[in-house]
Amino acid sequence: MAVLVVADNDNAHLRDGTHKTVTAALKLSGEVDVLVLGQGVSGVAAEAAKIAGVRKVLVSESEALGHGIAEAEADAVLAVAGAYDAILVPATSGGKNFAPRVAAKLDVAPISDIVEVVSADTFTRPIYAGNALETVQTSDAKKVITVRPTAFAAAGEGGSAPIETVGGADAAKTRFVSEEMVKSDRPELAAAKIVVSGGRAMGSAEEFSAVIEPLADKLGAAVGASRAAVDAGYAPNDYQVGQTGKVVAPSLYIAIGISGAIQHLAGMKDSKIIVAINKDADAPIFQIADYGLVADYKSAVPDLMNALTAAGK
């Protein structure tokens, strides 16, 4: 069986979700091709060709593909879909945007956000904000699946797959207007080994930056936030960790001033070690935290900074 993985990229570089989706694809079959969509993506294609286990890299370029417009992305995937039994897409905002469109055009039921490949037609995925795991078996001949990157290890390097150019695609009814990306020198949230997250307790955007960012920088961590902190305007939208934001699974997740609502836990409860700092000893976050400090963040975070310095960090 042949499997197509659609790469996640920003036109300049491959994103980590691609390597993880290749791992899921290799559990299905040894015949895994990667499709790179974008504009000016020869560098991305070269990176994809180096992923171990990849048989071939297809490159589809056009202006609409460079801006991640779903109609064009779905059409580009459909143009090559005939040769594949399964199409796997990283469950990022871009992947979730076009994958269901591909499925509808193929008249198949998409399987969203899988966390496990049980067999070639059976997959496990979280439902109800991660409070239940559903195992489904598909009867569709062609499968369209989005893969939760944090649930799979990244495929290694060392491959040397040939690169082939295929046709681009256009989106006649949609025009790109502008984009506004949050600039950050910190590691990407979804791929970071350590995440420091702040909640509503911070009280203001200034306080959020003053408390959370220095700690994150000291640890080389990415910054996350609860929905409450994002809704209150303390942190940008794309910092949000949870059912409706990003799903992370770092080695260390430090939740500061976050109560631990169901929807937040859905985004971080697979972290290896969870640390909670909260002055409310009854906050639900303590029920899943490996280590908890019942303390006001105003004293606990400076103490933690000092302790890290003392420990040579």
**Nearest distance in Å: CB 9, other proteins:** 12
Q: Would you say 256 and 305 are in contact if contact means Cβ atoms under 8 Å apart?
A: no
d(CA 121, CA 124) in angstroms, rounded, equals: 10
DSSP 149: G
Cβ-based neighbour number of residue 220 at 10 Å: 12
Which positions from 142 through 171 interact with other proteins, judged by CB under 8 A?
171
**Nearest distance in Å: CB 120, other proteins:** 14
Q: Would you say 98 and 89 are in contact if contact means Cβ atoms under 8 Å apart?
A: yes
Q: Which range of residues in 41-49, 51-59, 66-74, 160-168 is near other proteins by CB under 8 A? A: 66-74
Residue among 44, 45, 58, 69 that touches other proteins (CB under 8 A): 69
- Say if residue 1 is exposed, middle or buried (CB neighbours under 10 Å; 0-12, 13-18, 19+): exposed
Residue 132 within binding range of other proteins, rule CB under 8 A: yes
Residue positions counted in the chain: 313
Residue among 86, 117, 161, 275 that touches other proteins (CB under 8 A): 275
d(CA 260, CA 184) in angstroms, rounded, equals: 26
Angle at 82 between CA 78 and CA 84, to 5 degrees: 100
Cβ-based neighbour number of residue 216 at 10 Å: 22
Which positions from 178 through 237 interact with other proteins, judged by CB under 8 A?
178-182, 190, 194, 219, 227, 230-231, 236-237
d(CA 119, CA 134) in angstroms, rounded, equals: 14
Residue 176 within binding range of other proteins, rule CB under 8 A: yes
Beta-strand relationship, 222-225 and 163-166: unpaired
Residue 289 within binding range of other proteins, rule CB under 8 A: yes
DSSP 107: T
- The interface mask with other proteins, positions 79-98, x = CB under 8 A, is -------------xxx-xxx
- Closest CB to other proteins among 161 and 219? 219
**Nearest distance in Å: CB 277, other proteins:** 9
- The interface mask with other proteins, positions 97-116, x = CB under 8 A, is xxxxxxxxx-xxxxxxx---
Residue 12 within binding range of other proteins, rule CB under 8 A: no
- Closest CB to other proteins among 161 and 246? 246
Residue among 1, 13, 63, 137 that touches other proteins (CB under 8 A): 137
**Nearest distance in Å: CB 153, other proteins:** 17
d(CA 175, CA 64) in angstroms, rounded, equals: 8
- Closest CB to other proteins among 165 and 306? 306
Residue 313 within binding range of other proteins, rule CB under 8 A: yes
Element (H, E) at 293: strand 291-294
Which positions from 245 through 264 interact with other proteins, judged by CB under 8 A?
246, 251-252, 262-263
Classify residue 242 as left (phi > 0), alpha (psi -120 to 50) or beta. left
Residue among 38, 66, 68, 260 that touches other proteins (CB under 8 A): 68
